[in-house]
Amino acid sequence: MIIPTAPVRARTDLIMRGLCWAAMALALVPLISLLYLVVSKGLHRFDLDFFMHVPRPVGIPGGGMANALVGTLVLVLIASLFGMPIGVAAGLYLAEFGGGRFASAVRFWADVLTGVPSIVTGIFAYDILVKPMHSFSALAGGFALGTMMIPIIARITEEVVRLVPVSLREAALALGIPKWKSIIHVVLRTAMSGVATGLFLGATRVASETAPLLFTSFNNQYWNTSLGQPTASMTVQIFTYAISPYEEWRDMAWTGALVLLIIVLLASLASRLTLSKNRGANL
């Protein structure tokens, strides 16, 4: 005999499941609205001028964000130059020698550092580089971003390197290869696409940062000729244009947002695909 579920319980079940789905639907509304508006408003100025020219004063048509695009690239390059090697090395340490108390402490502080508000990193870079150099500079901005990169990349590297099967390491050791060589040539090589994805992810993460750049790389309406100079970046330029009172500058802010969003979403999608492919291959 089948005893039917009491109506109250059945109703509660239905209501609670419905609420969960409703929350899901509700969360999609702002996402869709944001995507739709960034695309529709951004297309307004999505033209060749935008990618070819530096900003122009209000009233003169045809200004662009070319210098900010290059500026963001330069900042991320500076950040990558020291953030990536240190991050990968730290991640390798955690994956290969990470059993002890020291490694747990490193993991813990990496998590804390990832959670620190990015604007605080900006103050740190300001104190260390901008104050002594007496100038906002691309170097200071890059330093702030690189600092943020290290813990992010370290944790992703650790994760993907750990996926390398022990049997591979054993095979390398059985051939008489020293451990350090087997880590570089066998372990790291096997995990390379995963590590590369992590680097890529770290780079896009910091490229979308604004707060740490406000008073490190500052902003610049012209082409930058030296790393010791203030430098424009996509994010700071979007911010500057968004809070300006001019309609044409606000249009530019939306277009800047569109370009930035395309970069970030493509990166997110690409890394998702490689990471899941990687996991599948190793499992």
Partner 1 sequence: MTGSAPVNSAKNDTIGAIKAGPGGFAPGLGAVRNPGDKIFRAILAAAAASIPLLAFAILAMLFVSSLPVLNQTGIYFFVRKEWDPVAQQFGALAFAYGTLMTSLIALLVAAPAGVGIALAITEFSPLKAREWAAWIVETLAAVPSVIFGLWGLFVLAPFLHQYVDPLLMRVPGKPFFAGPDTGLSLFTAGMVVAIMILPTVMAVCREVFNAVPNSLRESALALGSTRWEAVRLAVLAPSMPGIIGAVILAMGRALGETMAVTMVIGNAPQIVSNLLGPADSLASAIANQFTEATSDMHLSALTALGFLLFGITMVLNIVARLLVWAVARRMQHVAVK
Using CB under 8 A, which residues numbered 90 to 149 contact partner 1?
Answer: 90, 92-99, 102-103, 105-106, 108-113, 115-124, 126-128, 147
Q: How far is CA 47 from CA 4, 63, 251, 258, in A?
A: 64, 10, 12, 12
> Which C-beta is closer to partner 1: that of 193 or that of 268?
268
Q: How far is CA 115 from CA 54, 80, 121, 142, in A?
A: 35, 20, 11, 19
> Which C-beta is closer to partner 1: that of 13 or that of 47?
13
Rounded Cα–Cα distance for residues 248 and 3 (Å): 68
Number of shown-chain residues binding partner 1 (CB under 8 A): 105
Q: How far is CA 7 from CA 16, 156, 216, in A?
A: 14, 48, 63
| Closest distance to partner 1 from the beta carbon of 87 (Å) | 8
| Closest distance to partner 1 from the beta carbon of 44 (Å) | 13
Amino acid at 41: K
For position 165 contacting partner 1 by CB under 8 A, the verdict is: yes
| Closest distance to partner 1 from the beta carbon of 151 (Å) | 6
> Which C-beta is closer to partner 1: that of 60 or that of 175?
175
For position 196 contacting partner 1 by CB under 8 A, the verdict is: no
Q: Within 13 Å of residue 118, how many CA atoms lie on the same side as its CB?
A: 21
Binding to partner 1 by CB under 8 A, coded x per residue (else -) over 13-52, reads x--xx-xxxxxx-xxx-xx-xx--xx--------------
Q: How far is CA 93 from CA 18, 56, 88, 173, in A?
A: 46, 49, 9, 18
For position 154 contacting partner 1 by CB under 8 A, the verdict is: yes
For position 215 contacting partner 1 by CB under 8 A, the verdict is: yes
